[in-house]
Structure 1
């Protein structure tokens, strides 16, 4: 549930209602400035592979595990954890998942050689699937597609043990760290945990544990980040993990409670919240929907021939934009038409992910300024 807003402040941002009006206005100013100033840092992820745990290197077991790996790949490609329930034809492909395998690789799990329990998985199996085959399956099902270039998610989580608090790292809290990494990988989100300090002072344990909206916004601003997760958690014997997440996404703040029996549940609350938001914004339709909407796009600040050529390369690299056609050129400004399986606002968000396209605020138009 998103926190209550006193008023809208800028693109996609909000003022958090507080008891202190001036404090609320200060946060609003930060949110508005941040929405206008930040640009997502993108990382390319591997969409067409899946990882599963294995006990042997046998062909029979690999064939059995291929279905689960393919399911994980579908979740990553579409950004939807419920993709199989929504698109039954994709579920039907799991039985023949082994026919989609392009390559595979086994990795020894840490400490597996010392593990005396023969029932425990000793290997991690990575299956790379045929990209063309998966694209055809997704297109035939009419499922969405989320491009491989995705925003980097920065995350800080504080764990309390007794009277001691610490940031979650691979060394300090291996179970939580691994759970967060695994959930982010499943949902196709590049994750920095704990996030490195950028642009000044690092986040303190005290401020992170307080989880104030001002701290969250300041952290996003210092790191020039559009997506930030801050959380705090404590483990209670016989109860499980209790705590809270705050999710910052492009100017809005959402608070989520943590009440889980295991570390995987702690990770799921935060990662699934932000993954759902991003997938709904950036994934595009496929299948028959591709013949849907035609939009016009204008791009200015094209001063030289090299600007135009580079702009075309970046525009054509955006997944989801089809049949891009030049309509006219007027000075430093070009107009294009393109097909897109989604709304104008979704197309706008997708284009704005690329740092070379700066959004222009012209009502009713898709308009950008080319940035070298």
Structure 2
């Protein structure tokens, strides 16, 4: 074997090792504004309100499904014309700069029913946190999209992820980050450098972007997302930086919906047994039932048996066992345990 081949093999093995370590222990957070929208409006007149109700519902459909094309389905397009029926309430607010904003809140159950009628998946509210390294190159040079170096790009990135319902973690871009990775390494999208620099943020998903502004004002670049040990890539040419960062958020959302999206059009619900150890008090049991019962994929939770600190539950869910496990394990209080001989379903240690 040649020296070059050996080096390539070693580099590949190191990357797979780093990627495997990175894939363990995904960090997640509850997205609590999925069914809310906040839009700039021209005024408080009826026409502006009507347009905002429609735009707000379209945004909510995208956040709830993870699909940017969700508002284009026939059922959704019809619902947008009657967006008032999905609206719980709204209020206006004025910013210091004089801009008028409209806050809208939509009916969660009605929106989920619309997803069902549209044949769209429901992306559950507990969603993986996504660590995002972004390097921009323009007339000011090449730099990270940090608050200090590129505040506008930082704001645009945050806005894109918020409108897609993707929890975003931006690196601190402090001295530790500067020592771990340079803008040049991030621009080259070096797998080893990105993973190594991201170790301090362990638990978050990993996304890397690079984008350059061309002389005509357009933006061209690439996104790379580490998905279970392999990179997913997307190139983008956009009229604006906002459109480019939207593409990054959409890449992440599309990937995560494949793993956590619930198929609402399934004809029958499935029933599974969950065995949990570490349930040492009535309070533990109450919290446990509340946590499981609040998952969008779960229809009901029924206790079957209690022995010492171990409880057995019968869970009715709108998804298969593998996906149910992925959704449950986003909550780090559920520590997976191996099944005992003859045992089926899922088994966890409950840690509060």
Q: CA RMSD in A?
A: 3.1
User: Residue in 2 aligned with 1:153?
Assistant: 130
CA apart distance, 1:112: 5.0
Q: Equivalent residues in 2 for 1:302-313 (5 A)?
A: 302-303=279-280, 306-313=283-290
Contact 1:43 1:152 in 2 (8 A): no
User: Residue in 2 aligned with 1:14?
Assistant: none
User: Residue in 2 aligned with 1:120?
Assistant: none
CA apart distance, 1:111: 4.5
User: Residue in 2 aligned with 1:241?
Assistant: 219
CA apart distance, 1:124: 2.9
Question: Helix, strand or coil for the counterpart of 1:126?
Answer: strand
CA apart distance, 1:212: 1.0
Cα offsets for 1:345-364 (capped at 9, x unmatched): 21111000111012235597
Question: Helix, strand or coil for the counterpart of 1:253?
Answer: strand
Matched, 1:69 2:69: no
CA distance in 2, matches of 1:108, 1:171: 27
CA distance in 2, matches of 1:350, 1:233: 33
Cα offsets for 1:309-332 (capped at 9, x unmatched): 443332223221122122334554
User: Residue in 2 aligned with 1:22?
Assistant: 10
Contact 1:184 1:191 in 2 (8 A): yes
CA distance in 2, matches of 1:148, 1:197: 31
Give the number of equivalent residue pairs. 344
Question: Helix, strand or coil for the counterpart of 1:184?
Answer: helix
User: Residue in 2 aligned with 1:205?
Assistant: 183
CA apart distance, 1:261: 2.9
Contact 2:180 2:196 in 1 (8 A): no
Matched, 1:280 2:266: no
CA distance in 2, matches of 1:340, 1:30: 34
User: Residue in 2 aligned with 1:57?
Assistant: 44
When normalised by structure 2's length, the TM-score is: 0.84
**Which segments of 5 or more consecutive residues in structure 2 lack a partner in the other structure?**
none
CA apart distance, 1:72: 0.9
Cα offsets for 1:81-126 (capped at 9, x unmatched): 122334x22321212212433322334467557xxxxxxxxx3322
CA apart distance, 1:42: 1.0
Contact 1:290 1:339 in 2 (8 A): no
CA apart distance, 1:221: 2.6
User: Residue in 2 aligned with 1:119?
Assistant: none
CA distance in 1, matches of 2:68, 2:48: 25
User: Residue in 2 aligned with 1:89?
Assistant: 75
CA distance in 2, matches of 1:159, 1:210: 12
User: Residue in 2 aligned with 1:129?
Assistant: 106
Question: Helix, strand or coil for the counterpart of 1:169?
Answer: coil
Matched, 1:45 2:25: no
CA distance in 2, matches of 1:352, 1:368: 9
Contact 2:39 2:101 in 1 (8 A): yes
CA distance in 2, matches of 1:160, 1:167: 9
